[in-house]
Amino acid sequence: MPRVMISPPLLYKKPGPYSERLEAAGFEVVYPDSPGFTQQTSEADLVAAFQGISATLASGELYSPSLLEACPDLRVVSRVGVGYDQVNVPACTERKIAVSITPNANHECVAEHAFALMLDIARTVTQTDREMRSGQWKPHIMQNVRERTLGIIGLGRIGRSMAIRARAFRMNVIAAEQFPNAEFNAEHNIEIVSLDELLKRSDVISVHAPLTEETRGLINKETIAKMKPGVFFVNTARGGLVVEADLIPALESGHIAAAGLDVFEEEPTPADNPLLKLDNVVALPHIGGVDEKSLRDMADEAAANIVAMSKGTWPPTAIVNEADIRETWKWS
Protein backbone atom coordinates (compact mmCIF):
# COMPACT_ATOMS: atom_id res chain seq x y z
CA MET A 1 0.00 0.00 0.00
CA PRO A 2 1.54 3.39 -1.00
CA ARG A 3 2.09 5.79 1.90
CA VAL A 4 1.45 9.54 2.13
CA MET A 5 3.16 11.68 4.77
CA ILE A 6 1.08 14.57 6.17
CA SER A 7 3.60 17.15 7.40
CA PRO A 8 1.79 20.48 8.06
CA PRO A 9 1.69 21.12 11.83
CA LEU A 10 -1.92 22.34 11.74
CA LEU A 11 -2.98 19.01 10.22
CA TYR A 12 -1.03 16.89 12.70
CA LYS A 13 -3.11 13.81 13.51
CA LYS A 14 -6.32 15.62 12.61
CA PRO A 15 -8.13 13.35 10.17
CA GLY A 16 -10.54 15.04 7.82
CA PRO A 17 -11.81 14.97 4.23
CA TYR A 18 -8.24 15.05 2.94
CA SER A 19 -7.22 11.87 4.78
CA GLU A 20 -10.52 10.17 3.94
CA ARG A 21 -9.93 10.95 0.25
CA LEU A 22 -6.46 9.43 0.38
CA GLU A 23 -7.54 6.33 2.29
CA ALA A 24 -10.46 5.75 -0.07
CA ALA A 25 -7.96 5.79 -2.95
CA GLY A 26 -5.88 3.08 -1.28
CA PHE A 27 -3.19 5.14 0.46
CA GLU A 28 -1.90 4.68 3.98
CA VAL A 29 -1.84 8.07 5.74
CA VAL A 30 1.08 8.63 8.13
CA TYR A 31 2.22 11.57 10.25
CA PRO A 32 5.62 12.75 11.54
CA ASP A 33 6.74 11.96 15.07
CA SER A 34 5.84 15.46 16.29
CA PRO A 35 3.87 18.51 15.13
CA GLY A 36 7.10 20.54 15.07
CA PHE A 37 8.48 18.30 12.32
CA THR A 38 8.76 20.93 9.59
CA GLN A 39 10.77 23.47 11.61
CA GLN A 40 12.82 21.33 13.95
CA THR A 41 13.91 18.39 11.83
CA SER A 42 17.37 17.99 10.32
CA GLU A 43 17.79 16.76 6.78
CA ALA A 44 18.97 13.41 8.12
CA ASP A 45 15.75 13.08 10.10
CA LEU A 46 13.72 14.11 7.06
CA VAL A 47 15.43 11.45 5.00
CA ALA A 48 14.64 8.85 7.63
CA ALA A 49 11.00 9.96 7.89
CA PHE A 50 10.47 9.91 4.12
CA GLN A 51 11.73 6.40 3.49
CA GLY A 52 9.00 4.39 1.79
CA ILE A 53 6.87 7.50 1.29
CA SER A 54 5.28 7.87 -2.15
CA ALA A 55 3.85 11.35 -1.70
CA THR A 56 3.75 14.16 0.82
CA LEU A 57 1.24 16.77 1.79
CA ALA A 58 4.10 19.20 2.18
CA SER A 59 4.48 22.10 4.57
CA GLY A 60 7.61 24.25 5.02
CA GLU A 61 10.23 21.51 5.11
CA LEU A 62 13.12 21.89 2.66
CA TYR A 63 13.13 19.50 -0.29
CA SER A 64 16.79 19.75 -1.21
CA PRO A 65 18.53 17.82 -4.01
CA SER A 66 20.27 15.61 -1.46
CA LEU A 67 17.01 14.83 0.33
CA LEU A 68 15.27 13.97 -2.92
CA GLU A 69 18.15 11.74 -4.01
CA ALA A 70 17.90 9.86 -0.72
CA CYS A 71 14.12 9.27 -1.10
CA PRO A 72 13.74 7.14 -4.25
CA ASP A 73 10.10 6.23 -3.59
CA LEU A 74 8.87 9.82 -3.63
CA ARG A 75 6.65 10.54 -6.64
CA VAL A 76 4.65 13.64 -5.66
CA VAL A 77 5.39 16.63 -3.46
CA SER A 78 1.95 18.18 -2.98
CA ARG A 79 2.23 21.58 -1.30
CA VAL A 80 -0.58 22.62 0.99
CA GLY A 81 -0.52 26.16 -0.38
CA VAL A 82 0.67 28.02 -3.46
CA GLY A 83 4.26 28.85 -2.53
CA TYR A 84 6.91 26.25 -3.33
CA ASP A 85 10.20 28.07 -2.69
CA GLN A 86 11.21 25.35 -0.19
CA VAL A 87 11.00 22.74 -2.96
CA ASN A 88 13.93 22.43 -5.35
CA VAL A 89 11.83 22.06 -8.49
CA PRO A 90 14.73 21.40 -10.91
CA ALA A 91 15.92 18.57 -8.66
CA CYS A 92 12.38 17.17 -8.55
CA THR A 93 12.14 17.38 -12.31
CA GLU A 94 15.47 15.59 -12.71
CA ARG A 95 14.16 12.74 -10.57
CA LYS A 96 10.71 12.73 -12.22
CA ILE A 97 8.93 13.90 -9.06
CA ALA A 98 5.77 15.95 -9.62
CA VAL A 99 5.43 19.16 -7.62
CA SER A 100 1.86 20.31 -7.09
CA ILE A 101 0.26 23.34 -5.44
CA THR A 102 -3.29 24.27 -4.42
CA PRO A 103 -4.09 27.30 -6.57
CA ASN A 104 -7.83 27.33 -5.92
CA ALA A 105 -8.04 27.13 -2.14
CA ASN A 106 -6.59 30.06 -0.19
CA HIS A 107 -6.35 33.19 -2.33
CA GLU A 108 -9.31 34.82 -0.63
CA CYS A 109 -7.91 33.96 2.80
CA VAL A 110 -4.60 35.70 2.04
CA ALA A 111 -6.39 38.71 0.56
CA GLU A 112 -8.54 39.06 3.69
CA HIS A 113 -5.40 38.87 5.80
CA ALA A 114 -3.56 41.48 3.74
CA PHE A 115 -6.57 43.75 3.89
CA ALA A 116 -6.78 43.32 7.66
CA LEU A 117 -3.12 44.29 8.00
CA MET A 118 -3.67 47.33 5.80
CA LEU A 119 -6.58 48.50 7.93
CA ASP A 120 -4.67 47.75 11.13
CA ILE A 121 -1.66 49.91 10.28
CA ALA A 122 -3.73 52.71 8.74
CA ARG A 123 -6.07 52.86 11.73
CA THR A 124 -3.24 52.24 14.28
CA VAL A 125 -5.28 49.42 15.83
CA THR A 126 -2.45 47.30 17.22
CA GLN A 127 -0.29 50.28 18.14
CA THR A 128 -3.08 51.95 20.11
CA ASP A 129 -4.02 48.67 21.79
CA ARG A 130 -0.41 48.29 23.00
CA GLU A 131 -0.48 51.81 24.40
CA MET A 132 -3.82 51.27 26.13
CA ARG A 133 -2.54 48.10 27.80
CA SER A 134 0.52 49.97 29.07
CA GLY A 135 -1.71 52.55 30.80
CA GLN A 136 -1.68 55.25 28.13
CA TRP A 137 -4.76 57.05 26.82
CA LYS A 138 -3.28 58.35 23.58
CA PRO A 139 -5.72 59.00 20.72
CA HIS A 140 -4.15 58.96 17.26
CA ILE A 141 -5.26 60.67 14.07
CA MET A 142 -6.03 57.62 11.97
CA GLN A 143 -5.57 57.43 8.22
CA ASN A 144 -8.36 56.68 5.78
CA VAL A 145 -8.01 54.07 3.07
CA ARG A 146 -11.05 55.16 1.08
CA GLU A 147 -10.10 57.25 -1.96
CA ARG A 148 -6.43 56.36 -1.43
CA THR A 149 -4.35 54.58 -4.07
CA LEU A 150 -3.49 50.94 -3.45
CA GLY A 151 -0.58 49.57 -5.44
CA ILE A 152 -0.61 45.79 -5.83
CA ILE A 153 2.63 44.09 -6.83
CA GLY A 154 1.53 40.86 -8.46
CA LEU A 155 -2.03 40.56 -9.75
CA GLY A 156 -2.53 36.81 -9.65
CA ARG A 157 -5.37 35.13 -7.80
CA ILE A 158 -4.46 36.71 -4.46
CA GLY A 159 -3.74 40.13 -5.92
CA ARG A 160 -7.04 40.11 -7.78
CA SER A 161 -8.89 39.13 -4.60
CA MET A 162 -7.18 42.03 -2.83
CA ALA A 163 -8.18 44.39 -5.64
CA ILE A 164 -11.85 43.42 -5.40
CA ARG A 165 -11.87 44.18 -1.68
CA ALA A 166 -10.08 47.47 -2.19
CA ARG A 167 -12.55 48.61 -4.83
CA ALA A 168 -15.39 47.84 -2.38
CA PHE A 169 -13.68 50.31 0.01
CA ARG A 170 -13.61 52.93 -2.78
CA MET A 171 -9.86 52.74 -3.20
CA ASN A 172 -8.12 53.53 -6.45
CA VAL A 173 -6.20 50.43 -7.53
CA ILE A 174 -3.08 50.23 -9.68
CA ALA A 175 -1.00 47.12 -10.20
CA ALA A 176 2.32 45.92 -11.56
CA GLU A 177 1.78 42.58 -13.27
CA GLN A 178 3.75 40.83 -16.00
CA PHE A 179 0.75 38.93 -17.38
CA PRO A 180 -2.34 41.11 -16.77
CA ASN A 181 -5.87 39.82 -17.14
CA ALA A 182 -7.39 42.49 -19.38
CA GLU A 183 -10.99 41.41 -18.79
CA PHE A 184 -10.62 41.51 -14.99
CA ASN A 185 -8.82 44.84 -15.07
CA ALA A 186 -11.48 46.43 -17.23
CA GLU A 187 -14.32 45.07 -15.07
CA HIS A 188 -12.78 46.36 -11.84
CA ASN A 189 -11.11 49.48 -13.19
CA ILE A 190 -7.56 48.36 -12.40
CA GLU A 191 -4.75 50.31 -14.04
CA ILE A 192 -1.62 48.35 -14.97
CA VAL A 193 1.55 50.40 -14.48
CA SER A 194 5.29 49.87 -14.25
CA LEU A 195 6.81 49.03 -10.88
CA ASP A 196 8.48 52.44 -10.73
CA GLU A 197 5.19 54.23 -11.32
CA LEU A 198 3.43 52.07 -8.74
CA LEU A 199 6.06 52.92 -6.14
CA LYS A 200 5.75 56.63 -6.90
CA ARG A 201 1.94 56.85 -6.87
CA SER A 202 0.78 54.41 -4.18
CA ASP A 203 -0.43 55.41 -0.73
CA VAL A 204 -0.50 51.73 0.23
CA ILE A 205 1.63 48.97 -1.30
CA SER A 206 0.65 45.32 -0.93
CA VAL A 207 2.99 42.61 -2.22
CA HIS A 208 1.54 39.47 -3.81
CA ALA A 209 4.38 38.33 -6.07
CA PRO A 210 5.97 34.87 -6.02
CA LEU A 211 9.52 34.51 -4.74
CA THR A 212 11.87 33.74 -7.63
CA GLU A 213 15.47 34.56 -8.39
CA GLU A 214 14.18 37.59 -10.30
CA THR A 215 11.98 38.89 -7.48
CA ARG A 216 14.23 38.12 -4.51
CA GLY A 217 15.07 41.40 -2.75
CA LEU A 218 12.58 43.31 -4.90
CA ILE A 219 11.88 45.75 -2.08
CA ASN A 220 15.28 47.22 -1.32
CA LYS A 221 17.01 50.54 -0.71
CA GLU A 222 16.54 51.65 -4.31
CA THR A 223 12.88 50.72 -4.67
CA ILE A 224 12.03 52.04 -1.20
CA ALA A 225 13.55 55.41 -2.15
CA LYS A 226 11.07 55.62 -5.03
CA MET A 227 8.07 55.17 -2.71
CA LYS A 228 5.89 58.10 -1.73
CA PRO A 229 6.87 59.43 1.75
CA GLY A 230 4.43 58.17 4.37
CA VAL A 231 3.41 55.08 2.38
CA PHE A 232 1.92 52.05 4.14
CA PHE A 233 3.51 48.71 3.27
CA VAL A 234 2.03 45.19 3.53
CA ASN A 235 3.75 41.90 2.74
CA THR A 236 1.85 38.62 2.98
CA ALA A 237 3.72 36.93 0.13
CA ARG A 238 7.30 35.87 0.94
CA GLY A 239 9.89 37.42 3.25
CA GLY A 240 12.63 37.03 0.67
CA LEU A 241 10.96 39.66 -1.51
CA VAL A 242 12.09 42.32 0.99
CA VAL A 243 15.57 43.28 2.15
CA GLU A 244 14.83 43.78 5.83
CA ALA A 245 18.06 45.71 6.43
CA ASP A 246 16.75 48.34 4.00
CA LEU A 247 13.18 48.29 5.28
CA ILE A 248 14.15 49.00 8.90
CA PRO A 249 15.67 52.49 8.40
CA ALA A 250 12.76 53.49 6.15
CA LEU A 251 10.36 52.62 8.97
CA GLU A 252 12.52 54.33 11.57
CA SER A 253 12.63 57.54 9.53
CA GLY A 254 8.91 57.48 8.70
CA HIS A 255 9.52 57.31 4.96
CA ILE A 256 7.40 54.19 5.27
CA ALA A 257 4.76 55.19 7.81
CA ALA A 258 3.96 51.66 8.93
CA ALA A 259 4.23 48.07 7.80
CA GLY A 260 2.12 44.96 8.21
CA LEU A 261 4.37 41.91 7.86
CA ASP A 262 3.24 38.31 7.84
CA VAL A 263 6.48 36.97 6.34
CA PHE A 264 10.18 37.42 7.04
CA GLU A 265 13.55 36.74 5.45
CA GLU A 266 14.24 34.10 8.10
CA GLU A 267 11.37 32.07 9.51
CA PRO A 268 10.82 31.78 12.37
CA THR A 269 12.26 35.26 12.58
CA PRO A 270 14.70 35.76 15.50
CA ALA A 271 13.30 37.37 18.64
CA ASP A 272 15.91 40.13 18.32
CA ASN A 273 14.83 41.13 14.79
CA PRO A 274 14.78 44.97 14.93
CA LEU A 275 11.46 44.98 13.07
CA LEU A 276 9.81 43.51 16.16
CA LYS A 277 10.94 46.49 18.23
CA LEU A 278 9.27 49.13 16.05
CA ASP A 279 5.90 50.53 17.12
CA ASN A 280 4.90 51.12 13.50
CA VAL A 281 5.21 47.44 12.56
CA VAL A 282 2.51 44.81 12.98
CA ALA A 283 4.22 41.41 12.80
CA LEU A 284 2.57 38.02 12.45
CA PRO A 285 4.07 34.50 12.09
CA HIS A 286 3.27 33.64 8.46
CA ILE A 287 -0.38 32.77 9.07
CA GLY A 288 -1.99 34.69 6.21
CA GLY A 289 -2.84 31.69 4.07
CA VAL A 290 -4.57 29.69 6.76
CA ASP A 291 -8.01 30.11 8.19
CA GLU A 292 -10.40 27.31 9.06
CA LYS A 293 -11.94 27.10 5.61
CA SER A 294 -8.77 27.60 3.58
CA LEU A 295 -6.83 24.98 5.56
CA ARG A 296 -9.56 22.44 4.99
CA ASP A 297 -9.79 23.34 1.29
CA MET A 298 -6.01 23.37 0.72
CA ALA A 299 -5.50 20.00 2.39
CA ASP A 300 -8.32 18.46 0.39
CA GLU A 301 -7.04 19.95 -2.88
CA ALA A 302 -3.50 18.75 -2.12
CA ALA A 303 -4.84 15.26 -1.43
CA ALA A 304 -6.93 15.34 -4.60
CA ASN A 305 -3.80 16.20 -6.59
CA ILE A 306 -2.04 13.10 -5.25
CA VAL A 307 -5.02 10.85 -5.97
CA ALA A 308 -5.38 12.24 -9.49
CA MET A 309 -1.69 11.72 -10.24
CA SER A 310 -1.82 8.15 -8.94
CA LYS A 311 -4.57 7.50 -11.48
CA GLY A 312 -2.68 9.11 -14.35
CA THR A 313 -4.73 12.31 -14.37
CA TRP A 314 -3.01 15.71 -14.37
CA PRO A 315 -4.87 18.30 -12.23
CA PRO A 316 -5.23 21.48 -14.30
CA THR A 317 -2.95 24.39 -13.27
CA ALA A 318 -1.72 22.48 -10.20
CA ILE A 319 1.51 20.76 -11.34
CA VAL A 320 4.40 23.21 -11.28
CA ASN A 321 6.74 21.13 -13.45
CA GLU A 322 4.15 19.44 -15.67
CA ALA A 323 5.66 20.64 -18.94
CA ASP A 324 9.01 19.08 -18.07
CA ILE A 325 7.91 15.68 -16.76
CA ARG A 326 4.53 14.82 -18.23
CA GLU A 327 5.80 12.64 -21.05
CA THR A 328 8.11 10.59 -18.83
CA TRP A 329 6.49 10.68 -15.37
CA LYS A 330 5.18 7.43 -13.90
CA TRP A 331 3.72 6.65 -10.50
CA SER A 332 5.98 3.64 -10.08
Catalytic positions, written as ranges: 238, 267, 286
Listed residue (271, 284, 274) closest to 246, CA to CA: 274
Query: Which alpha helices (H) appear in the chain, and where do they start and end?
Result: 17-24, 37-40, 43-49, 65-69, 89-94, 107-122, 125-133, 157-168, 182-188, 195-201, 221-225, 244-253, 292-310, 322-325
Q: How many Cβ atoms are within 10 Å of 147's Cβ, its own excluded?
A: 10
**Please, how many CA atoms are within 13 Å of residue 26, restricted to the half-sphere of its CB?**
7
What HEC string does 100-117 produce? ECCCCCCHHHHHHHHHHH
DSSP states along 42-54: -HHHHHHHTTT--
Torsion of CA 266, 278, 254, 141, to 10 degrees: 130
**Please, how many CA atoms are within 13 Å of residue 272, restricted to the half-sphere of its CB?**
0
